[in-house]
Amino acid sequence: MDRKKAIEKATELVEQMTVEEMASQLRFDAPAIERLGIPEYNWWNEGLHGVARAGTATMFPQAIALGASFDEELLKEIGEVIAVETRAKYNESIKEGDRDIYKGLTVWSPNVNLFRDPRWGRGHETYGEDPYLISRMGVAFIKGLQGDGEYLKTAACAKHFAVHSGPEDMRHYFDAKVSLKEMWETYLPAFEACVLEAEVESVMGAYNRTNGEPCCAHSYLMDEVLRGKWGFKGHYVSDCWAVKDFHENHKVTGRPEESVKLALEKGCDVNCGCTYQKILSAYNEGILPLEHIKRSAVRLFTTRFLLGMFDKTEYDRIPYETVECKEHLELASKAARESVVLLKNDGILPLHKERIRTIGVIGPNADSREALIGNYHGTSSRYITVLEGIQDYVGDDVRVLYSKGSHLFLDREESLAKADDRLSEARTVAKHSDLVVLCLGLDESLEGEEGDTGNSYASGDKKDLKLPLSQIKLLEAVAETGVAFIVCMMTGSAMDLNFADERASAVLQVWYPGARGGKDVADILFGEVSPSGKLPITIYRDLEGMPAFTDYSMKGRTYRFLEKAPLYPFGYGLTYADTEITDLKAEPVDYHALPENGIKIEAVMTNRSAIAVEEVVQIYVHIKDSANEVPNPRLAAFQRVTLKPGKEQSVELTIPKAAFAVVNEKGERCFEGSGASIYAGFGQPDERTRELTGKEGKTLDI
């Protein structure tokens, strides 16, 4: 159904409603209107990396891990799977008369905020720190969720609009100050792509204010940009209980009725929360015009008609058996394998089980289901931890010894024991092993959304980059044994890996790899597949010189503005092969008359090893002689490729014209400078990447 027809149907239906009935439909938990044949509907559903909070579903790696795949097609396929399982579960739920929360077709995903500061607890819900990477992954995911059929398969939601990335404990009253240059250079590009390219059906406003106005009632962001410049036609939803913050925390209004008026006036169509229960009060007072209520009701029913909720659709026949089916689980495994990033390898990897008698598996995340799943997760019918993955892989051929080693963050496992009550066991296991796999990190109880799981630290944010003290002691104790060890870091954000980099034989960033991700980690450790993930974030050496968490300027943050060498750079990740970019060619162009369809380039690659591997070709651009250019080269194109053993091959990529634009102080994109430098590599063109890989990449100028 096209939007014009859906709007006509929605308008006709809304015209038959009383004011009270219209008002009721703007709540996230909209009640039935039986006389009009409208069933109840709960707008709130989640699908960040699988259908969430509604029972069993295929559980993919967390979003930050998907960002590490640098694989647009994978993200589209994952979106398609989530949409299919959402429909399958919805079809059965409504047959059972169950229209509860988390069971509808409006999926409040993806989170396309930029991971600007490593302390932000919700960063693992995002695709990383680069606007272009986030844009490409977000667009692909949304296209998968929404499909290309007669009706929307599900309605995706780009969140949280805009300029939002912590601190979590201040979000209800915080005002993010940002220049127009940084807004358009950093914070808006992903949302722009989601609206203009993916035609995302909904956008969710953030809790905080931006430059003085609350994001769920923002004149510039909502009126001028979203519906004005971008022509957004879908519906706008508040973050949960964000409208209540208008009067309780932001103090931009004095009471709920004024908050309702402001939100609806600016175009916030559905309220996740309870403040819109005051719509009728505001209307009866005469401060809220009927036209604002009706406008939002029409937008919401337009989405419901686009989803085919009042018609028979091709999706009604999707069977429940698609949930966690073999093909979906295989895709989750593929995603986990593509997401693991090998940060260091002194030659110990891949492991060969025929050369090992005993392997020690140690750490609070080694046998933790929580460390597999991240946040906003569903339920799996089976979980495979890293310990279980290793045990299953080696079978009876290798003895596996296990010690938890420490609590995730407390100083002891048993309340009556002395502090560090598992350290001696960890040392014993290490000393009795040929090598150790040490699984450290966090889980959603330590990093995530404020109040979401009773986060133990700074409302879900991190105070610093350090592991909990219990794990620092464990890491040091294992290192002191002198036994070779491999660190598997299971987190959704950058941690202090300096000690691990110095002392471990290998370091892998495993993220939160999904419900059965332990099997895929084991397969990578034992060389069944080569690691191929690339860092979608910077892993810093420390926070020295980084602006305060509350400072939204980008100075010193992320690879584009970094002023000192990181420990591990954005875009970096090793494989088990010796690969290199050996040539770079570009079609001849006039820099001052760039073609609208971008510039085609050809990267030539060589795999000198005897194994096939997947690599990610990355293209970076830097504009010469422009005061408006960001300090460091920025990602402009990428493509995942399979490199055959001992072969040379080439790949053609297109650098979009927009990649050559810079943003001035007025927030305007412009083309300036004397030319551009284009770099192709398996990482970015910085000194640290060259130091870590021993490879140069190729550069050409236009």
Q: Are 570 and 535 in contact (CB under 8 A)?
A: yes
* 202 and 70 both lie in a single domain: yes
Both tokens of residue 91? Answer: 């079809």
**Residue of 71, 117, 239, 367 with catalytic role:** 239
Degrees (nearest 5) of the Cα angle 89, 95, 97? 100
In a domain, 573, yes or no: no
In a domain, 672, yes or no: yes
Q: Are 314 and 153 in contact (CB under 8 A)?
A: no
* 588 and 622 both lie in a single domain: yes
Q: Which of 561, 591, 607 is the last residue of a domain?
A: 561
Both tokens of residue 581? Answer: 């970019």
- 622-642 pLDDT, tens digit per residue, is 999 999 999 999 999 999 999
d(CA 102, CA 322): 18
**Domain membership of residue 143 as a residue range:** 3-322
What pLDDT, on the 0 to 100 scale, is given for residue 167? 96
* 315 and 344 both lie in a single domain: no
* 306 and 352 both lie in a single domain: no
* 19 and 45 both lie in a single domain: yes
- Residue 360 CA neighbour count, 13 Å, CB half: 25
d(CA 696, CA 680): 9
| Nearest in space to 524 (alpha carbons), one of 490, 575, 471 | 575
* 222 and 128 both lie in a single domain: yes
* 206 and 151 both lie in a single domain: yes
What pLDDT, on the 0 to 100 scale, is given for residue 15? 98
239 is catalytic: yes
Q: Which of 512, 528, 561 is the last residue of a domain?
A: 561
Helix (H, G, I), strand (E, B) or coil at 628: coil
In a domain, 569, yes or no: no
Indicate the helix (H) or strand (E) that contains 501: helix 498-503
Query: Residue 214: pLDDT above 70?
Result: yes
Degrees (nearest 5) of the Cα angle 511, 517, 521? 80
What pLDDT, on the 0 to 100 scale, is given for residue 455? 65
Mean pLDDT of 404-420: 97
Mean pLDDT of 86-104: 98
* 7 and 119 both lie in a single domain: yes
In a domain, 252, yes or no: yes
Indicate the helix (H) or strand (E) that contains 426: helix 423-431
Q: State the CATH number of the domain containing residue 527.
A: 3.40.50.1700
Residue 124 is which amino acid?
H
| Nearest in space to 385 (alpha carbons), one of 367, 402, 360, 370 | 367
- Residue 257 CA neighbour count, 13 Å, CB half: 10
- 107-134 pLDDT, tens digit per residue, is 999 999 999 999 999 999 999 999 999 9
What pLDDT, on the 0 to 100 scale, is given for residue 451? 79
In a domain, 265, yes or no: yes
| Nearest in space to 382 (alpha carbons), one of 523, 515, 519, 518 | 515
Mean pLDDT of 499-520: 98
- 218-265 pLDDT, tens digit per residue, is 999 999 999 999 999 999 999 999 999 999 999 999 999 999 999 999
Indicate the helix (H) or strand (E) that contains 262: helix 256-266
What pLDDT, on the 0 to 100 scale, is given for residue 97? 97
Q: Which of 263, 298, 322 is the last residue of a domain?
A: 322
**684: which DSSP letter?**
-
d(CA 43, CA 432): 55
In a domain, 328, yes or no: no
CA torsion sign for 158, 162, 167, 169 is negative
d(CA 510, CA 374): 12
* 596 and 508 both lie in a single domain: no
Domain count, the chain: 3
What pLDDT, on the 0 to 100 scale, is given for residue 457? 67
* 432 and 542 both lie in a single domain: yes
579 class by beta-carbon count within 10 Å (0-12 exposed, 13-18 middle, 19+ buried): buried
Residue 483 is which amino acid?
V
Query: Residue 453: pLDDT above 80?
Result: no
**Residues 6+ away with beta carbon under 8 Å from 531:** 340, 341, 342, 508, 524, 573, 574, 575, 576
Q: State the CATH number of the domain containing residue 15.
A: 3.20.20.300
- Residue 46 CA neighbour count, 13 Å, CB half: 19
* 209 and 340 both lie in a single domain: no
In a domain, 567, yes or no: no
Both tokens of residue 199? Answer: 């035609």
Query: Residue 696: pLDDT above 80?
Result: yes
What pLDDT, on the 0 to 100 scale, is given for residue 438? 99
Query: Residue 612: pLDDT above 90?
Result: yes
Neighbours of 77 (CB within 10 A): 19
In total, the chain counts a number of residues equal to: 702
What pLDDT, on the 0 to 100 scale, is given for residue 39? 98
d(CA 501, CA 498): 5
Neighbours of 548 (CB within 10 A): 9
Helices 423-431 + 469-480 axis angle, to 10:
30
- 289-333 pLDDT, tens digit per residue, is 999 999 999 999 999 999 999 999 999 999 999 999 999 999 999
Query: Which of 27-31, 47-51, 110-114, 455-459 shows the lowest mean pLDDT across its residues?
Result: 455-459
In a domain, 302, yes or no: yes
Query: Residue 454: pLDDT above 70?
Result: no
Please give the share of the chain, as a percent, with pLDDT higher than 90. Answer: 98
Q: Which residues of 405-416 are buried (b: 16+ CB within 10 A; e: fewer)?
A: bbbbbeebbeee
Query: Residue 456: pLDDT above 70?
Result: no
Q: How far is CA 665 from the centre of its chain?
A: 29
Q: State the CATH number of the domain containing residue 632.
A: 2.60.40.10
Question: What is the residue-wise DSSP string for 108-146?
Answer: ---B-----STT-GGGGGS--S-HHHHHHHHHHHHHHHH
Question: What is the residue-wise DSSP string for 40-88?
Answer: -EE--BB-SSSSBSSSB---PPPHHHHHHTT-HHHHHHHHHHHHHHHHH
CA torsion sign for 557, 560, 561, 567 is positive
What pLDDT, on the 0 to 100 scale, is given for residue 240? 97
* 289 and 385 both lie in a single domain: no
Rg from Cα positions in the chain: 26
